[in-house]
Structure 1
C-alpha cells in the first residue's frame, strides 16, 4: 500500500474518509476502473438525467 510507504496511519485516514478499515482494505484490493468505463458511466448518467430519469438501460443503448 502506498499509504503505508509514506508513513500514513491507516486508522486516521479511514476516520477522515468516514470508512471502516475493512471497507478501506476491500476497496484497495480491487482493480482500478479504466478511464473508458468511467466515461461510459458518466455518459449513461447524463442521458438518464437528460431524459428525466425515464430511460432505462435498453433505451440508453439505442441513444
Structure 2
C-alpha cells in the first residue's frame, strides 16, 4: 500500500501528522511531507486516519 500526497492541495493544517507521525512530517511552515511512500505493514490504520483527517483531500492511499 502506498500513501500519496498532492502537495498543491495541502493547506498546512497539520491534521494528518498526528495520527501518522511515523509516515508524515511537517515542514517549518506546517506543510505535510511524506517520510516514505510505502506504508509499512501494521501502519495501514494510521495512514487511513491521516487521509481521513485531511480537510483538502491532499492525501490518498493506493494499493
Calculate the TM-score normalised by the size of structure 1.
Answer: 0.23
Calculate the TM-score normalised by the size of structure 2.
Answer: 0.23
Question: Which of the two has higher C-alpha Rg?
Answer: 1
Name the one with the larger helix percent.
1
Higher relative contact order, chain-length normalized (CA < 8 Å, sep 6+)? 2
Name the one with the larger strand percent.
2
